[in-house]
């Protein structure tokens, strides 16, 4: 099993290029981030080249305070598409294969129609660059009011649009809170999953704490054929280096 360091949470006190280098030194196989836009893409690309790591994914901007994304907001279509263009352009510059497009805090039929139209736009823009567009359900405790609420809703949207670029971000932390039944849901959704992320529940801390048995879950995923790096998107209690003990047993298996 290989792992990607999510630099939105890990080493997030460092400039992004230095965080990439720290992830390499810690033994991660890849990296991913949230919003890299304040860092010149050339600096990120240089750090990725120096370390040999791939930046697996990044997010579209969250918009104004309280919006938490733009794609499903009916009165923000122009801004949503500008955010999509920006994210894809940045991803191309640093050779990132996936973009997570954030839906925003909204609900209703008009929001659903807007979301689908913007997802079609994102997939069309991503297609020439062979970039995957990811959508991620967020749990109601961390993201109250978020449009994309559960894996069942995300699955229905992906199947309705039937676009090859559109895939599901299977975040085990959010899935455990919103639906549970991790293994059965992973097996069912595997054909449409584009990326996997992990953290403990309920604290969203290092994955060897809390109520989820990741040794079992990750072995199950591997046995089903999952071979891509799994994103470690957790909040360390203190310095990132002090939270990495969970990683060592997996490294020792190599």
* Active site (catalytic) residues: 136, 233
Measured CA to CA, the distance from residue 16 to residue 13 in angstroms comes to 9
Measured CA to CA, the distance from residue 113 to residue 26 in angstroms comes to 44
The radius of gyration of the chain's CA atoms, rounded to the nearest angstrom, is 17
Whose CA is closest to 27, among 214, 193, 253?
253
81: tokens are 């598409």
Measured CA to CA, the distance from residue 43 to residue 56 in angstroms comes to 16
DSSP 165: T
């Amino acid at each position: 099993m290989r792992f990607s360091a999510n630099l939105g949470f890990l080493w997030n006190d460092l400039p992004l290029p230095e965080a990439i280098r720290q992830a390499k030194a810690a033994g991660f196989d890849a990296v991913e981030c949230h919003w890299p836009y304040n860092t010149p893409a050339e600096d990120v690309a240089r750090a990725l080249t120096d370390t040999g790591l791939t930046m697996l994914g990044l997010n579209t901007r969250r918009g104004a305070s309280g919006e938490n994304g733009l794609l499903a907001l009916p009165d923000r279509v122009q801004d949503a598409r500008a955010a999509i263009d920006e994210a894809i352009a940045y991803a191309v510059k640093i050779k990132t294969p996936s973009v997570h497009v954030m839906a925003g805090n909204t609900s209703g039929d008009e929001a659903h129609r807007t979301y689908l139209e913007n997802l079609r736009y994102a997939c069309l823009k991503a297609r020439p660059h062979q970039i995957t567009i990811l959508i991620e359900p967020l749990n109601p405790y961390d993201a109250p009011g978020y449009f994309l609420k559960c894996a069942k809703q995300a699955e229905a949207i992906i199947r309705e649009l039937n676009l090859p670029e559109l895939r599901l971000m299977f975040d085990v932390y959010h899935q455990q809170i919103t639906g549970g039944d991790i293994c059965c849901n992973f097996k069912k959704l595997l054909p449409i999953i584009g990326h996997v992320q992990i953290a403990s529940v309920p604290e969203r801390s290092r994955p060897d704490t809390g109520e989820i048995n990741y040794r079992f879950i990750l072995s199950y995923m591997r046995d089903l054929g999952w071979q891509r790096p799994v994103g470690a998107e957790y909040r360390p209690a203190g310095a990132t280096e002090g939270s990495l003990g969970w990683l060592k047993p997996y490294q020792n298996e190599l």
